[in-house]
Structure 1
Amino acid sequence: MTYALICLPFLAVALVVALVATRTLPPGERRRRWASTGIAAAVLLALTAVFDSVMIAAGLFGYADGTRLGPVVGLAPIEDFAYPIATVLLVPAVWTLARRRGAKAAHDED
């Protein structure tokens, strides 16, 4: 099994939850959400490239050759970037859904 196959379910769930959460936002806020998600993703991917490369170079961990797709950024295989992408999609989505649920519960109590 490759690392990419392990990562795919996490990415799929994160994307679905992000799309569901974004649909609950008004159009203007939706555009801002995707723009800020893109900026956060760029920063997080850059940090992942740097720090994963440093940790791999230091010998803290490594990857078996048969389990990777092949392409790398620095020393980090592209599969390493799946979890930061899932995180940048999932965290704001869960926050949005929880905030909506909390607001609805508070409204129902009134």
Structure 2
Amino acid sequence: MTYLALSTAFLAVAALGGTLAAIVTRRRPDAAALGLTALALLLLTAVFDTVMIASGLFHYSPDHLAGVHIGLAPIEDFAYPVAAVLLLPALWTALRSRRTRRDETLRTEEGSA
């Protein structure tokens, strides 16, 4: 299995999970916040992966890479920050929505008692 195939599967799962969480909660995270977060994470990934690869902390087998690099970081490394941007805000929104509903239920029960 190539790193690109693994990254694609990982991104598909994150996109599906993020979409399902957004549908269930009927809320979407703010697009501007997602864009800024993605930009920051991609920039940090480019810088720190390049530093870690240059210092010899890890390396990739070139046989399994697509061949596109940003700095020294292979393009496949950027799937993980993108997946985080897709999945984590939707998960956060879903958990927050669940907590809000629970708190409203508790307040209703306390008010009727």
**What TM-score range do you get, normalising by the shorter chain?**
0.7 to 0.9
More displaced stretch, 1-10 vs 67-76: 1-10
- 1:20, 1:6 → 2: CA distance? 21
Q: Name the structure 2 match of 1:93.
A: 90
Identify which of 53, 58, 71 aligns with 1:56.
53
- Structure 2: stretches of 5+ with no match in the other structure: 109-113
Task: Tell me which stretches of 4 or more aligned residues in structure 1 moved more than 6 Å.
Answer: none
More displaced stretch, 49-58 vs 97-106: 97-106
In angstroms, what is the RMSD of aligned CA positions?
1.5
Identity %: 49
Is 1:75 aligned to residue 72 of structure 2?
yes
- Structure 1: stretches of 5+ with no match in the other structure: none
- 1:85, 1:36 → 2: CA distance? 13
Q: Name the structure 1 match of 2:18.
A: 18
Q: Name the structure 2 match of 1:8.
A: 8
The alpha-carbon distance between structure 1 residues 5 and 14, as it changes in their structure 2 partners (threshold 3 A), is: same
Matched AA of 2:100: A
Tell me which structure has the larger Cα radius of gyration. Answer: 2
- 2:6, 2:41 → 1: CA distance? 20
Please give the TM-score of this superposition, normalised by the length of structure 1. 0.86
